[in-house]
């Protein structure tokens, strides 16, 4: 898999011009959603290099991360004369970069694309690492390919217009990166003042968080080994997300990951000895900032069935990434049904349900 270039922008116009000049293309397209069309595209429309770019707009939020939306992007590219030598810029959050990357990587067997993530979640996770895809059959990211963007441009000034829910959704992935990297990075994330934000410090932490992911992806681009570390919190988190979607009460991805981290740190504690004090500190931060995903014991079976569809599983055995300590990763861990249900009990008890 080819390496993508990640650029932390000092000047978006200069950085995007540089990224485009490195590519050969006959036509230029920009994929937005209804939010980024209004809030972010105006910042790019003054650039001369984008004068002739064609916009393709889709609906905002994860409910549009579907085969139907994907087909509409293919259709728009086809109708507007895209060729295999065209280039697509994905301007948006994780849904746009996931779906747009998949559309680009499959249209005419693959065209070049550039990601400009506009949410914290997309900056530190979705747009980096080459994973693309859509939801299918009620399951998160069930269909997709590994296909890295040519460039990823991180313009952190977009974060100033981000609402609190979307900020914390991305921050959950940063917290995960802290847990799988160093005690220092984990501690600075727990200590960061999220009420009176210092955007200069946040920009530095975003760079550090992206570096954690880049280092792992470089070692294991196709997720055969250490890249599974990035799935901490996701085995159970994706089940929460899929259940919420099935029950028509969708939740943001990062919130599902945060709640999944609570469960998987508990599994880490009882199975491989993750320190209780660090587990409690992390859970306290999540409780204060993410609220609670409400479910009852009658839904345990549904959650378990959803977990059985996780892409990391082998031969139907549910697979977890767990931690012995911060930065001390245990891959390919398993737990039986009784232990998983015990984990749901722990979650509901510590969240006051």
Co-location of 59 and 197 in the same domain: no
Q: What is the rounded distance in angstroms from the CA atom of residue 116 to the CA atom of residue 6? A: 10
Q: Are residues 38 and 89 in the same domain?
A: yes
* In a shared domain, residues 126 and 248: no
Domain of residue 327: give its range. Answer: 165-350
Of the residues 223, 269, 278, 319, only one is catalytic, namely 223
Of 110, 128, 161, the residue at which a domain comes to its end is 161
Q: Are strands 139-143 and 134-136 parallel, antiparallel or unpaired?
A: antiparallel
- Give the per-residue pLDDT at 1: 52
Of these residues, 37, 131, 228, 278, which one is catalytic?
Answer: 131
Q: Coil, strand, or helix at residue 273?
A: coil
Per residue in 277-286, pLDDT (tens digit) is: 999 999 999 9
Question: What pLDDT score does 316 carry?
Answer: 77
One domain for residues 54 and 155: yes
271 is catalytic: no
Kindly tell me if the per-residue pLDDT of 263 is higher than 80.
yes
In the set 176, 228, 253, 278, the catalytic residue is 253
Question: Catalytic: which of 35, 37, 185, 234?
Answer: 234
Separation CA 128–CA 232 (nearest Å): 17
Q: Are 327 and 304 contained in the same domain?
A: yes
pLDDT tops 60 at residue 24:
yes
Which of the residues 213, 228, 269, 278 is marked catalytic? Answer: 213
Compute the average pLDDT of residues 69-90: 98
**Are 51 and 186 within one domain?**
no
For residue 228, give the nearest of 331, 316, 131 by alpha carbon: 331
Is 253 assigned a catalytic role?
A: yes
47: which DSSP letter? Answer: -
Is residue 227 flagged as an active site residue?
yes
238 in catalytic set = yes
Confidence of residue 340 (pLDDT cuts 50, 70, 90): very high
For residue 66, give both structure tokens.
């579907």
> What whole-number distance in Å separates Cα of residue 165 and Cα of residue 160?
13
Q: Average pLDDT over the chain, rounded to whole?
A: 94
What is the tens place of the pLDDT at every residue in 288-318? 999 999 999 999 999 999 999 887 777 778 9
Q: Given the residues 109, 195, 196, 296, select the one marked as catalytic.
A: 109
How far is 129 from 147, CA to CA, in rounded Å?
8
pTM of the model: 0.90
CATH code, 89? 3.40.50.1970
Q: Is 213 a catalytic residue?
A: yes
Is residue 245 located within the same domain as residue 286? yes
- Among 15, 90, 166, 173, the active-site one is 173
Nearest Cα to Cα of residue 122 among 143, 144, 152, 161? 152
* Domain endpoint, select from 110, 137, 161: 161
Q: In 10 A of CB 334, how many CB atoms?
A: 15
Are 95 and 193 members of one domain? no
Distances (CA, A) of 148 to 46, 130, 189: 27, 4, 28
**Claim to verify: residue 231 and residue 339 sit in the same structural domain:** yes
231 given a catalytic annotation: yes
Yes or no: say if 320 and 264 are a contact pair by the CB < 8 Å rule.
yes
Look up 234 and say whether it is catalytic: yes
Mean pLDDT for 112-139 is: 93
Query: How many domains does the chain fold into?
Result: 2
Q: Check residue 180 and report its DSSP letter.
A: T
185 is catalytic: no
For residue 301, what are the contacts with CB-CB under 8 A and spacing of at least 6? none
Is residue 76 within a helix (H) or strand (E), and if so which, with residue range? helix 67-79
Which region among 80-84, 151-155, 314-318 has the lowest average model confidence (pLDDT)? 314-318
Q: Say yes or no: 124 and 185 in one domain.
A: no
Asked if 86 contacts 123 with a C-beta cutoff of 8 angstroms, the reply is: no
Q: Which of 231, 241, 278, 319 is catalytic?
A: 231
Of 139 and 133, the one with more pLDDT: 133
| Residue 239 banded pLDDT, cuts 50, 70, 90 | very high
The span from the CA of 316 to the CA of 137, in Å, is 18
> Given 138, 161, 184, which residue is the final one in a domain?
161
Q: What is the mean pLDDT of residues 344-352?
A: 95
289 and 181 fall within a common domain: yes
Whole-number pLDDT of residue 257: 97
């Amino acid at each position: 898999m080819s390496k993508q270039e990640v650029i932390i922008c000092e000047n978006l116009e200069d950085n995007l011009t540089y990224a485009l000049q490195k590519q050969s293309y006959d036509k230029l397209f920009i994929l937005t959603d209804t939010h980024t069309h209004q809030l972010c595209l105006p910042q790019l429309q003054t650039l001369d290099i984008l004068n002739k770019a064609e916009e393709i707009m889709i609906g905002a939020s994860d409910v549009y991360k579907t085969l139907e939306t994907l087909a509409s992007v293919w259709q728009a590219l086809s109708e507007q004369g895209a060729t295999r030598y065209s280039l697509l810029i994905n301007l948006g959050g994780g849904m746009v970069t996931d779906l747009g990357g998949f559309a680009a990587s499959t249209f005419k067997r693959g065209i070049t694309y550039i990601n400009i993530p506009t949410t914290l979640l997309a900056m530190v996770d979705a747009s980096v690492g080459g994973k693309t895809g859509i939801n299918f059959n009620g399951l998160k990211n069930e269909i997709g390919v590994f296909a890295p963007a040519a460039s990823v441009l991180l313009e952190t000034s977009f974060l100033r217009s981000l609402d609190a829910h979307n900020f914390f959704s991305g921050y959950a992935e940063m917290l995960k990166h802290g847990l799988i990297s160093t005690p220092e990075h984990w501690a600075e994330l727990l200590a960061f003042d999220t009420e009176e934000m210092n955007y200069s410090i946040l920009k530095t932490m975003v760079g550090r968080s992206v570096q954690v992911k880049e280092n792992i992806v470089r070692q294991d681009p196709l997720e055969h080994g250490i890249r599974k570390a990035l799935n901490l919190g996701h085995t159970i988190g994706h089940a929460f997300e899929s259940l919420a979607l099935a029950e028509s009460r969708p939740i943001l991805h990062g919130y599902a990951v945060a709640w999944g981290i609570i469960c998987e740190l508990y599994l880490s504690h009882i199975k491989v000895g993750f320190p209780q004090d660090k587990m409690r500190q992390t859970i306290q931060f999540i409780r204060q900032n993410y609220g609670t995903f409400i479910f009852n014991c009658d839904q345990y079976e549904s959650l378990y069935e959803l977990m059985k569809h996780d892409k990391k599983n082998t031969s139907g055995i549910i697979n977890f990434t767990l931690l012995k300590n911060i930065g001390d990763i245990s891959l390919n861990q398993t737990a039986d049904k009784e232990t998983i249900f015990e984990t749901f009990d722990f979650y509901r008890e510590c969240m006051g349900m």
